């Protein structure tokens, strides 16, 4: 598939950008650890995709495990490190709702619709969702995106069309980056 700067990239956070904590939430910066190769991958993907967004369910806030201010502090530090590595994220969208019926909680499409309102140039048919769960794949599919599953041990059935990679870096490398640039 040929991507260019008219395409948008949507990334889940936990499990794609950073290591997911088993049965817990990343509540402080000292619990946040980038997955191997993520910083390099985002920097290179930025040279291809016109826009890069993070769309992440953060129910730990809704459950009282952390505050919005603590979440924002994690995101500020994450964005600083991404920028220092020559990457860039256009905007982070997150849902703190606990209830799965919230229109903003993936797999529901609310965060995608807000992104489209903020960035009208987004075309979902020219967008890619990279996530590590079935809710990420359904979110992308429900918006008409191409879907990339980052390897998870969730035993996800292939009820949705998606390609699978072990890491974001592996996905980036699959694009034959040297042939594009």
Give the residue numbers annotated as catalytic, written as ranges: 12, 14
Counts for the chain of helices (H) and strands (E), in that order:
7, 6
Cβ–Cβ < 8 Å for 91, 120: no
- Give the strands of the sheet with 91-95, arranged side by side: 91-95, 51-57, 8-11, 127-131, 146-150, 163-165
- Show Cβ contacts of residue 132 under 8 Å, excluding neighbours closer than 6 positions: 12, 14, 15, 16, 20, 149, 150, 151, 152, 154
């Amino acid at each position: 598939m040929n991507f260019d700067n008219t395409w948008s990239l949507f990334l889940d956070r936990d499990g794609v950008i950073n290591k997911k904590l088993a049965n817990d939430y990343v509540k402080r910066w000292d619990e946040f650890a980038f997955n191997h190769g993520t910083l390099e991958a985002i920097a290179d993907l930025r040279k291809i995709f016109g826009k890069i967004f993070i769309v992440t369910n953060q129910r730990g806030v809704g459950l009282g495990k952390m505050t919005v201010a603590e979440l924002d502090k994690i995101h500020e530090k994450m964005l600083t490190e991404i920028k220092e590595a020559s990457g860039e994220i256009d905007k982070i969208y997150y849902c703190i709702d606990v209830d799965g019926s919230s229109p903003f909680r993936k797999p529901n499409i609310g965060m995608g619709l807000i992104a489209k309102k903020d960035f009208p140039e987004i075309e979902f048919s020219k967008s890619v969702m990279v996530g590590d769960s079935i809710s990420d794949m359904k979110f992308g599919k429900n918006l008409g995106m191409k879907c990339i599953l980052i390897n998870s041990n969730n035993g996800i059935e292939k009820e949705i069309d998606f390609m699978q990679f072990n890491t974001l870096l592996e996905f980036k490398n699959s694009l034959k980056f040297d042939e594009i640039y």
